């Protein structure tokens, strides 16, 4: 597959330019346009240690331009104990936590930074409040490309340590994420730096995410019934759906799995439209009330992005569900306790979501389900409402011994 | 290779028991005793996605007992820009940061927990102040094995969130790490829970670390001249040296690389003995003064462990060097800026160490060098002395634009 430009998913306009953001006619989401769409079965025999094992379906022409830190080829583990607890016979976890900066965003930034290098971008500029910022900072440093990040005013200081150390220039911007997002788009156009924001603002980023579907197909050796994905604006879900579609159209998988998108109750514009059986998503104008910050996107000013995601949900015969923060906390705790996987709230949302979808009868208990665990809990250090961390200090072995002896009795 | 028991590295006593800690005669470090030492070249043709690709050289008999979260097969990346900066032509980074809980400890706990399952341990108990604790908590939860951790009184609260969520019972113990370490050993004997402390207290843990040498050999397709390893007591260094030795004795690599062990100036018992050309290591009785907590082990009460590590250093014709915290901070900053890799101080020590070894003339600039980057910076969020994280909030695009335009001019 060779990239030739882009097609607008909304109006069909084609573009030959390289570092584009959106359709210049209608502001629609751009999709990469490939000249050759044939994918051979050989793609699954690659023995790569990172997602560039699938470079044949990625939009980079020269190997020299690849910027990699070893992203992808993440673990896919069967968690029978978790499955038993929530009532799914075959529940697999795709651990995107095991990526260079701890989230799936690394896949997107690896491709976008490679693309920036291949097309001679002067620098990159991105809006983010967390995980995408870490990925941008890491890959820009690795590539030696100047990097600027715009972050909402309320981002915790600890989130900014890694970008500072890697040399990304940070500007805190008054207002919520939408403001930083808008500014990145304006400034990118004005100074010609490549916008690597991981919304649909960058049409190359999702190409990296797409490799998740290739890996699942390779690792499972079959198609799952459901793939469960936390959703903000939805590029990860759309990219996975597109990846499975590419595979299906080339006869390499037997079916396209249904996508189950999960949003938090406190900011769920796409799940709301799904529930109301509307094809057009409208922005979330209510207050944003959730701890799952990574998927709290109100889509204000770009609600067409939600509509685009919703189309992919329907295309795969999937569904969208919304979950409470309480359900997310319970799921995060359960995931850690029985699987040993420590996720951030936005990632634990997928486990909460599959539980909710079961309850609603959307998913059958006998389904083969893959939950994407999108980001590591170590970057937030949430306790998911657990009893607080102990502060009492013990002087001798006695207290511990009592507890241990008591434990062995029970 | 099938494990049959242990041999004491100090007095040669053999043991057939399974869940042992140390030699019961002399308190020496135990090494696993394998009945069959032949390793075939096929070990390199495995296409596994985790370190269990090398299960033939790991001491677990039944696949059903394997407790895995996808540890190992970590990225090995060539960092020409970093190499250029510090004066090494061929500098590779082995990113142990890309492991389930962000450090190489996951390899050790994966094997130790599998071993605990295989031998029916009632529970596991470990002393740790950080990374080993996270690994213990994750693998115990995944295996469904009860888990207790003893932590020094001064461990930061944020470090305890993940073990709390995963269900490991935590006791804060008065005093420094040596006290927790001693107590874990005593309690383990008293109640029969398996001690998974990642010092030499557990002879199975290093078997997991050993896989690092197998991976480097497979990934590089040759033997490096030097492998650079941050050292506390030294199980990682000893295990890598042993792994390369196994490969060499089976004719699978052309030579055993020299091990370069790095300690911080403020706690460097093994590097001190090396510099003084002493074969016996003595404990560090001076105050411990370093931010590189993960490798600040004074060896008080178990200095023979340092002697054991030093033997492996000499066996590989390697060296030990000590570095200042200032040099570690500079190295951590440089590593992030030019490679995009965010390490914890204990991990950045390897980059500081190779720089120091060059200065001392221990390493030749034309050497093929692999630096182990042992742990992720995201768990500590250090800024390595960078200018502090920005707090100023900007109202509009103007300030950012000015900076960008100015940047493009220079």
Round to whole Å and give the CA distance between B143 and B67. Answer: 6
**Per-residue pLDDT, A139:** 98
* Predicted pLDDT of residue A299: 92
Closest residue in B to A329 (Cα) is: B165
Residues 319-348, chain B: which have Cβ within 8 Å of A?
A: 332-333, 336-342
Q: Do B68 and A77 touch (CB under 8 A)?
A: yes
User: A404: distance to nearest CA of chain B, Å?
Assistant: 7
pLDDT digit string, tens, across residues B130-155:
899 999 999 999 999 999 999 998 88
What pLDDT, on a 0 to 100 scale, did the predictor assign at position A124?
A: 97
Q: Which residues of B touch A189 (CB under 8 A)?
A: none
Q: Mean pLDDT of all residues in chain A?
A: 94
Q: pLDDT by residue (tens digit) across A55-82?
A: 999 999 999 999 999 999 999 999 999 9
pLDDT of residue B391: 77
Q: Which residues of B touch A407 (CB under 8 A)?
A: 123, 146, 169
Best mutation site among B98, B112, B219, B340 for testing chain A: the one with the most A CBs within 10 Å?
B340
CB-closest option in A95, A99, A190 to B401: A190
Q: What residues of chain A, 17 to 46, have a C-beta less than 8 Å from chain B?
A: none
Q: What is the pLDDT of residue A326?
A: 97
SS in 3 state form for chain A? CCEEEEEECCCCCEECCCCCCCCCCCCCCEEEEECCCCCCHHHHHCCCCCHHHHHHHCCCCCHHHCCCCCCCCCCEEECHHHHHHHCCCEEEEEECCCCCCCECHHHHHHHHHHHHHHCCCCCEEEECCCHHHHHHHHHHHHHCCCEEEEEECCCCHHHHHHHHHHCCEEEEECCCHHHHHHHHHHHHHHHCCEECCCCCCCCCHHHHHCHHHHHHHHHHCCCCCEEEEECCCCHHHHHHHHHHHHHHHCCCCCCCCEEEEEEECCCCHHHHHHHCCCCCCCCCCCCCCCCCHHHCCCCCCCCHHHHHHHHHHHHCCCEEEEECHHHHHHHHHHHHHHHCCCECHHHHHHHHHHHHHHHCCCCCCCCEEEEEECEEHHHCCCCCCCCCCCCCEECCHHHHHHHHHHHHHC
Question: Which of B114, B155, B161, B405 would you mutate first to test chain A, the one with the most A CBs within 10 A?
Answer: B161
Judged by DSSP in three states, B210 sits in helix
**Which chain A residue's Cα is nearest to B329?**
A165
pLDDT number for residue B122: 95
Q: Give the CA distances from residue B152 to residues A295, B128, B174, in Å, rounded to whole numbers and listed in that order.
A: 37, 8, 6
pLDDT in tens, A292-325: 999 999 998 899 999 999 999 999 999 999 999 9
Chain B residue closest to A99 (CA)? B98
| Residue B405 forms contact with A (CB below 8 Å) | yes
Spell out which residues of chain B touch residue A403, defining contact as CB-CB under 8 Å. Answer: 148, 169, 171
User: What pLDDT is recorded for position A379?
Assistant: 94
Tens of pLDDT, residues A33-58: 998 778 999 899 877 889 999 999 99
CA–CA dist B171, B151 (Å, integer): 6
What per-residue confidence (pLDDT) applies to B177? 83
Contact A136, A147 (CB under 8 A): yes
CB proximity A187 to B under 8 Å:
yes
Cβ distance of B165 and A122 shorter than 8 Å = no
pLDDT at A410 over 70: no
Measure A172 CA to nearest chain B CA, in Å: 5
Say yes or no: B78 contacts chain A, CB-CB below 8 A. Answer: no
Alpha-helical regions (H) of B250-324? 269-275, 304-315
Q: Which residues of A touch B137 (CB under 8 A)?
A: 340
Taking CB atoms and an 8 Å limit, are B336 and A165 in contact across chains?
yes
Q: Chain B residue with minimal CA distance to A175?
A: B395
Give the integer Cα–Cα distance in Å for A163 and A186: 22
Which residues, given as ranges, of chain B have pLDDT below 70?
408, 410
Q: Does A151 touch chain B (CB under 8 A)?
A: no
Q: For all residues of chain B together, what is the average pLDDT?
A: 94
Token pair, residue B134, equals 């996270």
* Closest listed residue to residue B271, CA positions, set B235, B239, B227, B318: B318
What's residue A176's pLDDT? 81
HSE-up of A391 (CA within 13 Å, CB side)? 4
pLDDT tens per residue, range A269-290:
999 999 999 999 999 999 999 9
Q: Which residues of A touch B169 (CB under 8 A)?
A: 403, 407
Q: What is the pLDDT of residue B410?
A: 61
Token pair of B66 as six digits: 């394997």
């Amino acid at each position: 597959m060779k990239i030739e430009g882009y097609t607008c998913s909304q109006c069909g306009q084609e573009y030959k330019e390289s570092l584009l953001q959106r359709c210049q006619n209608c502001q629609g989401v751009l999709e990469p346009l490939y000249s050759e769409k044939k994918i051979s079965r050989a793609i699954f025999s690659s023995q790569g240690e990172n997602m560039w094992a699938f470079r044949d379906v990625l939009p980079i022409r020269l190997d020299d331009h690849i910027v990699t830190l070893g992203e992808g080829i993440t673990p896919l583990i069967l968690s029978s104990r978790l499955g038993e607890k929530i009532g799914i016979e075959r529940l697999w976890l795709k651990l995107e936590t095991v990526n260079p900066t701890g989230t799936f965003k690394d896949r997107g930034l690896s491709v976008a930074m490679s693309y920036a290098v291949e097309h001679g971008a002067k620098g990159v500029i991105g809006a983010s409040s967390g995980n995408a910022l870490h990925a941008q900072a890491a890959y820009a440093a690795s590539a030696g490309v100047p990097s600027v990040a715009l972050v909402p005013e309320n981002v915790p200081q600890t989130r900014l340590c890694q970008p500072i150390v890697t040399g990304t220039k940070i500007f805190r911007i008054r207002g919520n994420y939408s403001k930083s997002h808008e500014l990145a788009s304006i400034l990118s156009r004005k100074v010609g730096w490549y916008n690597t924001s991981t919304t649909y603002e960058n049409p190359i980023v999702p190409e990296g995410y797409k490799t998740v579907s290739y890996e699942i197909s390779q690792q499972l050796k079959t198609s799952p019934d459901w793939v469960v994905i936390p959703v903000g604006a939805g590029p990860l879900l759309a990219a996975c759906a597109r990846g499975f579609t590419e595979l299906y159209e080339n006869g390499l998988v037997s079916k396209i799995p249904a996508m189950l998108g999960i949003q938090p109750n406190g900011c769920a514009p796409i799940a709301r439209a799904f529930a109301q059986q509307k094809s057009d998503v409208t922005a979330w104008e209510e207050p944003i009330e959730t701890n799952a910050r990574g998927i709290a996107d109100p889509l204000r000013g770009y609600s067409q992005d939600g509509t685009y995601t919703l189309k992919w949900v329907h295309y795969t015969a999937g569904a969208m569900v919304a979950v409470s923060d309480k359900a997310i906390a319970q799921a995060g705790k359960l995931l850690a306790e029985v699987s040993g996987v420590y996720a951030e709230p936005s990632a634990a949302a997928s486990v909460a979501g599959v539980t909710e979808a079961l309850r609603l009868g959307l998913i059958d208990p006998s389904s083969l389900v893959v939950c994407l665990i999108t980001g590591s809990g170590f970057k937030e250090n949430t306790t998911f409402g657990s009893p607080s961390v102990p502060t009492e200090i013990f002087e001798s072995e006695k207290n511990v011994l009592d507890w241990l002896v008591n434990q062995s009795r029970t």
